[in-house]
Amino acid sequence: MKRLLIYVITILIFFIIGLLLANFLLMPLFVRRGEEVVVPNVCNMPLDSAAVILKKAGLQSVVTERRYDRIIEQGRIIIQEPLPDTKVKKSRIINLSVSLGIEKIVIPVLSGLEYSKAKQIIDRLGLVISDIDSVYSDSISEGKIIWTIPESETEVKKGDDIKLIISKGIVLKLPNFIGMKLNEAKNLLKKLNLVLGAVTEIEGSGEKGTVIVQNPQPDQVVDAGDTINLMIVK
């Protein structure tokens, strides 16, 4: 009987101790774990400052992403998850996306490329064709890129504008026919895809049939198919 009483008392003591432990140790722990806090806004803050503010609020932070951004400066927070003003449990981990700044791009050499190919490259780089101009070239055939503005090898930002200068065709400068025989001039005009216009005989010094005047003048820019008028010695 005495042993039974001791046994009951022992159980009762352990039960009371268990209640005390639950009341003063376990319950506060569970209550603290369940405590909610409001997530502070750390967007656009430097990473170090954001981590300090979140820690003071009883939260943890981790960088889950680093990416380029045209607005947020390098090293600052682009976005956070959960979002600002959200109520979360204390010690919750806040995911942070950090800016790498504006992505820099070097304009490639596009000279000599067809417009369609150049546009594919420009689009892939994230640049924008703002304007297109056409001029004659002394070496680049029609429809191909002569140069860009800004020029190739220039460092720009993603999303910047780029202007293309496209060839209207290779510049054809009229050769000097003066002193040539008419047949020589005809053959050269044919090779240049030019048309022989009026041939006028006039009095002049030199061998008969020799070109002494031409219109347009030598070195003048002409297009394929233009008409060239000659005056020869009568």
CA 234/CA 221 separation, integer angstroms: 28
Asked if the model's pLDDT at residue 27 lies above 60, the reply is no
Phi, psi of 79 (to 5 degrees): -150, 155
Q: How far is CA 35 from the centre of its chain?
A: 47
DSSP for 189-233?
HHHTT-EEEEEEEE--SSSTTBEEEEESPTT-EE-TT-EEEEEEE
Question: How is domain 35-102 classified at the architecture level of CATH?
Answer: 2-Layer Sandwich (3.30)
95-114: average pLDDT:
94
- pLDDT at residue number 22: 52
- pLDDT at residue number 31: 44
Residue 232 CB: number of other CB atoms within 10 A?
A: 23
DSSP bridge partners of 214: 230
Which one has a higher pLDDT value, 215 or 28?
215
The reply to whether CATH 3.30.10.20 applies to domain 172-233 is yes
DSSP bridge partners of 145: 166
Per residue in 122-169, pLDDT (tens digit) is 999 999 999 999 988 888 989 999 999 999 999 999 889 999 999 988
DSSP collapsed to 3 states, 50-113: HHHHHHHCCCEEEEEEEECCCCCCCCEEEEEECCCCCEEECCCEEEEEEECCCCEEECCCCCCC
Residue 58 CB: number of other CB atoms within 10 A?
A: 15
CA 139/CA 167 separation, integer angstroms: 9
Q: What percent of the chain has pLDDT over 90?
A: 70
Asked if the model's pLDDT at residue 88 lies above 90, the reply is yes
Region(s) of the chain under CATH 3.30.10.20: 35-102, 104-170, 172-233
CATH tag for 104-170 (out of 3.40.30.10, 3.30.10.20, 3.20.20.450, 3.40.50.970): 3.30.10.20
CA 55/CA 37 separation, integer angstroms: 12
Per residue in 51-79, pLDDT (tens digit) is 999 999 999 999 999 999 989 999 999 99
